[in-house]
Structure 1
């Protein structure tokens, strides 16, 4: 039976700063998370000159009992972090330039999104309460897997099977026979 994940709403705070590039007027970066946040869509939290922080979205942080090894890896990092995955907004809206796709505590899942190169990825430090919640979840659900060394089978693979082909397919003659170099058959 598959267990349902533990889910916690997580608000994503994105900071907009003037860009140093001449091709983009603004730079966006996920800077923090708000555990237990309500729904929001690019709500302004703070303004300081040209720098604006938004509560961009609230997404569920899902903790699966089968991913506890990944959570342990994330918690053992120098700075435990939540991986935030954002993608360019499809509608081209300049006020809401990114859609927040995912927030994850699994560095393995975060790495999977890094392979495509289509998303904006940020690691955001976890608040202490969130670290404690994930640590408690891991302590409750983690099961250490025993390492089992694979044993080699004793079959010989270096025997000569010249011209036999696949033994599962019946054939009238040899499919291929390697050329001989003066040796008798």
Structure 2
């Protein structure tokens, strides 16, 4: 197991439906918890209590890659260690299915990249203690600290020449900032 480059685990996503807070949105949908090692499911009702309903919406594959260990450490060191669940509004083909769950990532960098898009919804869902231990073990196995090397400045003096000032078609040294083609009598007064 020491030579593994990637690691995968199926993880179920529990989505909670609550009544909407405005008259324009009937329901509020939000992923609230994870089920590590879950089997396949498709919007299976787990709990119903009045208007509150929790669904096992989908089981996604959580993949870890050894080149992303720094991003996993950032996610693990967060106040509440979380994975990022990427979703989008489901097509109108199936009634009662509001969201299409696309992927799940433990990489803080990848999660934030998806959050920059307006085409998808990204939610942070807290990791279970077992999932934290599973990711931490992978990071401990593969993470290598990068040593910071400060760049040394050149000793070349760049302030001795005034490159790019003015237009070379203008002959007078005092008029280097004047636009070519404008003469003094053409200026607006």
TM-score interval w.r.t. the shorter chain? 0.7 to 0.9
Deviation at 1:176, TM superposition (A): 4.7
* Pair 1:179–1:66, CA change in 2 (3 A): farther
Q: Supply the distance in 2 between the matched residues of 1:87 and 1:13 (Cα, whole angstroms).
A: 15
Across the aligned residues of Structure 1 and Structure 2, the Cα RMSD in angstroms comes to 2.3
Deviation of 1:117 after TM superposition, in Å, equals 3.0
Aligned residue for 1:72, secondary structure, equals helix
* Closer/same/farther in 2, CA of residues 118 and 178 from structure 1, 3 Å limit: farther
Cα distance in 2 for partners of 1:81, 1:7 equals 17
Give the secondary structure class of the aligned counterpart of 2:119: coil
The residue number in structure 1 matching 2:64 is 63
- Quote how far apart the aligned CAs of 1:122 are: 1.7
Cα separation, 1, equivalents of 2:172 and 2:97: 69
Aligned to 1:181: 174
CA 1:162/1:119 → structure 2, altered by over 3 Å: closer, same or farther?
closer
Alpha-carbon shift at residue 44 of structure 1 (Å) = 1.3
Q: In the TM superposition, what is the alpha-carbon distance from 1:67 to its structure 2 partner? A: 1.1
Of the structure 1 ranges 84-93 and 10-19, higher mean CA displacement relative to structure 2 is found in 84-93
SS in 2 for 1:39: coil
> Is 2:141 the partner of 1:140?
yes
SS in 2 for 1:113: helix
Q: Aligned residue for 2:178? A: none
Q: How does 1:1-185 map to 2 (within 5 A)?
A: 4-91=5-92, 93-160=94-161, 176=169, 179-181=172-174
- SS of residue matched to 2:161: coil
TM-score, structure 1 length as denominator? 0.83
CA distance in 2, matches of 1:176, 1:92: 66
What TM-score do you get using the length of structure 2 for normalisation?
A: 0.81
Count of residue pairs brought into register by the alignment? 171
Return the offset for 1:17. Answer: 0.9
Gaps of 5+ in 2: 176-189
Over 4 Å off, 4+ runs: 174-178
Stretches of structure 1 that go unaligned for 5 or more consecutive residues are 164-173
